[in-house]
């Protein structure tokens, strides 16, 4: 993705100007073809599996160099080109007026365009095509998901229309906005981020004052982290220089939730540079934890075994750490949830487990 302009403008103003100019440029590209008596066409990076590559140096998936071409001279492509132009114009209006629309709302708005979408999946794909073409995120375009954001608790002060401190908003903390790139970080008094998969663990940590004990931000991921959550984690890691630690359920699905935060997903290869946090560390629950802490477990199902074997061949899991933990989990044939530490009491995870994990991380540094 291209670099944003360097100026004295706020993060929000900078991204708005960049996105608006990219959208304006899309229309100008078509106009210039017409003025040259050329059939208008658009080059769009391919999102096919053959063009998704894992960049070892960047440590995340990205798109390769293959492009596709959509031309108004191809009868089969006229509709898609028209839809992209309509979506681009719709988004340009959103950006100019500093408004947002959910992807569902855009689908219904298109009913009035005369070139509407047959399904929401079709409109979602055109939105993704626009992301890829312009090198911006869906959120920059003013298009929002339907799901609620994750929660953050701890001593960080943000400007999200009004000034907010995430440790002073009740026990649920600050809900990460889909427009997180329009939020300014004003101040913080923490030295790390602890992201946990379940809201049950999030609330346990808040109740036990883990944010004070470990001087950290606590992020409740709500399962697979939403794009806004991943963007927030990347921003605090890069802009505030806060190391990120992830603790999920000890199973292949928990492993993958962590890895998507660390190295991004193949599906979002076109925006992983904005979402992936390659320096984030997975600290548990590992197969080693299951053994060392004698945790209550469930037997791996066939689907778990198959998924672990898939992960072992994934380039994101090629490190000795991941290979060891995957093999160990397959060997013991067991998995465990985060809450399984409650076997030793509700406070155990804060009093014993996380202190040991953070000490282990410090020793490895």
Tens of pLDDT along 149-194?
789 999 999 998 899 999 998 888 999 988 898 899 999 999 999 9
Query: Active-site residue 60, yes or no?
Result: no
Q: What is the mean pLDDT of residues 291-298?
A: 95
Classify 48 as helix, strand or coil: coil
Contacts of 31 by beta carbon, 8 Å cutoff, 6+ apart: none
- DSSP label at residue 6: P
Minimum mean pLDDT range among 61-70, 232-241, 299-308: 61-70
Q: How confident is the model at residue 364 (pLDDT cuts 50, 70, 90)?
A: confident
Q: How confident is the model at residue 298 (pLDDT cuts 50, 70, 90)?
A: very high
CA atoms within 13 A on the CB side of 276: 24
CATH class of 11-144: mainly alpha
Instruction: Say what the pLDDT of residue 147 is.
Output: 67
Q: pLDDT of 86-98, one tens digit each?
A: 999 999 999 999 9
Element counts in the chain: helices (H) and strands (E): 14, 17
Pairing of strands 244-247, 281-284: parallel
Beta-bridge partners for 217: 193
For residues 288 and 326, give the distance between their C-alpha atoms in angstroms, rounded to a whole number: 10
Within 135-270, residue ranges assigned H as helices are 199-207, 210-213, 227-239, 252-263
Classify 167 as helix, strand or coil: coil
Q: pLDDT of 15-74, one tens digit each?
A: 899 999 999 999 999 999 999 999 999 999 998 889 999 999 999 999 999 999 998 888
* Residue at token pair 């399962």: 223
Q: pLDDT of 311-354, one tens digit each?
A: 999 999 999 999 999 999 999 999 999 999 999 998 999 999 99
For residues 185 and 163, give the distance between their C-alpha atoms in angstroms, rounded to a whole number: 10
Catalytic residue among 20, 67, 108, 344: 108
For residues 263 and 316, give the distance between their C-alpha atoms in angstroms, rounded to a whole number: 7
Contacts of 152 by beta carbon, 8 Å cutoff, 6+ apart: 166, 173, 174, 175, 176, 217, 218, 219, 220, 232
Q: What is the mean pLDDT of residues 215-243?
A: 95
Instruction: Say what the pLDDT of residue 3 is.
Output: 41
Instruction: Say what the pLDDT of residue 194 is.
Output: 98
Alpha-carbon torsion angle 138, 141, 145, 149, nearest 10: 90
Beta-bridge partners for 143: 101
Q: Which CATH architecture has domain 151-364?
A: 3-Layer(aba) Sandwich (3.40)
Q: pLDDT of 96-130, one tens digit each?
A: 999 999 899 999 888 888 888 989 999 999 999 99
Say how many Å lie between the first and final Cα of the chain, rounded.
31
Classify 162 as helix, strand or coil: strand
What percent of the chain has pLDDT above 70? 97
Domain ranges of the chain: 11-144, 151-364
């Amino acid at each position: 993705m291209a670099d944003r302009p360097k100026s004295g403008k706020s993060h929000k103003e900078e991204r708005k100007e960049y996105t608006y100019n990219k959208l304006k440029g899309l229309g100008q590209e078509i106009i210039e073809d017409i003025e040259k008596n050329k059939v208008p066409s658009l080059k769009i990076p391919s999102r096919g599996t053959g063009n998704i590559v894992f960049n070892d140096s960047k440590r995340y998936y990205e798109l390769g160099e293959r492009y596709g071409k959509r031309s108004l001279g191809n009868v089969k492509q006229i509709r898609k080109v028209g839809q992209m132009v309509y979506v681009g114009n719709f988004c340009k209006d959103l950006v100019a007026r500093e408004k947002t629309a959910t992807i569902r709302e855009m689908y219904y708005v298109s009913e009035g365009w005369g070139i509407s979408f047959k399904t929401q999946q079709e409109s979602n794909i055109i939105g993704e095509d626009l992301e890829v073409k312009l090198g911006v995120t869906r959120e920059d375009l003013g298009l929002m998901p339907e799901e609620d954001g994750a929660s953050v608790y701890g001593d960080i002060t943000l400007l999200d229309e009004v000034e907010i401190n995430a440790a002073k908003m009740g026990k649920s903390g600050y809900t990460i906005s889909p427009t997180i790139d329009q939020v300014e970080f004003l101040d913080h008094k923490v030295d790390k981020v602890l992201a946990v998969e379940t809201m049950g663990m999030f609330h346990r940590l808040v109740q036990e004052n883990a944010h004070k004990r470990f001087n950290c931000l606590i992020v409740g991921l709500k399962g697979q982290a939403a794009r806004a959550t991943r963007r927030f984690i990347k921003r605090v890691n890069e802009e505030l220089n806060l190391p990120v630690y992830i603790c999920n359920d000890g199973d292949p699905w928990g492993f993958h939730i962590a890895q998507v935060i660390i190295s991004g997903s193949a599906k979002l290869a076109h925006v992983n540079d904005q979402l992936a946090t390659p320096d984030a560390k997975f600290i548990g629950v590992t197969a080693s934890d299951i053994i060392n802490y004698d945790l209550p477990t469930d037997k791996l199902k066939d689907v778990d075994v198959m998924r672990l074997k898939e992960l072992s061949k994934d380039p994101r899991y090629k490190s000795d750490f991941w290979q060891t933990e995957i093999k160990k989990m397959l060997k013991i044939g067991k998995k465990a949830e985060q809450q399984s530490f409650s076997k030793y009491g509700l406070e155990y995870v804060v009093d014993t487990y996380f202190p040991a994990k953070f000490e282990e991380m410090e020793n490895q540094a």
